[in-house]
Homo-oligomer: A and B are copies of this chain.
Amino acid sequence: MIDILKNRKTIRKYTNQAIEEDVLIDILEAGVRASTTGNMQVYSIVVTKDDAMKEKLAPCHFNQPMVKQAPVTLTFCADFNRFNLWCQQNNAEPGYDNFLSFVTAAIDALLVAQNVCVAAESKGLGICYLGTTTYMADKIIDVLKLPNGVVPITTVTLGYPDEDPAQIDRLPLEAVLHQETYKDYTQEQISKLYATKESLEENIAFVKENGKETLAQVFTDVRYKKADNEHFSKQLLGVLKAQGFM
């Protein structure tokens, strides 16, 4: 089992084979066994299979082709709506219209998402996370008709793999690991920890393609720009307010 985790790759191209309903249910049943705060299960999963819905969802993910191509897209949402309704009809006054409760629900949703992904991969499916979810949460709320108390936090496309890409690099484990307390990094350590990544052929090509001097500039100037991050931060905080979490 640990080898499935170690050898995994993100899959962005899928065959046109549908995911059998019993396989999907099996994966989701395994997924919801993830830990959840106080066993409240403050999350929901919206399943997209319908072509018309894929058409509507795709622009929310900057038209990344996986949304239309994958047989199934799952949107994982922080969800206190169901729990609040249960409280209200049981003579209990919910106090979950605040930032901590959003974070609690988001954590719940993300642990389930990853559990679903591991379950899917163990069944031979390929998955891809769409980070665009938090950028375009307002649009996704419209398309999926998410009520107050519900915020989409991540999206996963899944299907049977139609590609077998090379496994992508990771930093050496020591880069992300701290023993007992956080040891801040010296310049030398940073250089050493990122040396392999910077020397990879595909990354050197990536720097050239983007007309940049360093790999880090591809991130700051092209892929994840300050202005975009600030714009989407405002949007996301607005969404939390609109959905009743601020």
CA distance A216 to B225 in the complex (A): 44
Say which residue of B83, B85, B214, B229 sits within 8 Å of A100 (CB atoms): B229
A18 in the interface (beta carbon within 8 A): no
Total interface residues on A, CB under 8 Å, equals 120
Question: Which residues in A have some Cβ–Cβ distance to B below 8 Å?
Answer: 1-2, 4-8, 10, 25-35, 37-41, 43-50, 53, 77, 79, 81-83, 85-87, 89-96, 98-101, 103-104, 106-107, 110-111, 113-115, 117-119, 122-123, 127-129, 131, 134-135, 143-147, 150, 153-154, 168-171, 173, 175-182, 184-185, 187, 190-191, 193-194, 213-217, 219-221, 223-227, 229-230, 232-233, 236-237
Residues of B within 8 A of A7 (CB): 33
- Asked if A2 and B47 make an inter-chain contact with CB atoms under 8 angstroms apart, the answer reads no
Q: Are B98 and A229 in contact (CB-based, < 8 A)?
A: yes
A28 and B6 alpha carbons, distance in the complex (Å): 10
From B46, B153, B171, B232, A178 is in contact (CB under 8 Å) with B46
Q: Does the CB pair B1–A134 fall under 8 Å? A: no
The distance from the CB of A201 to the nearest CB of chain B, in whole angstroms, is 15
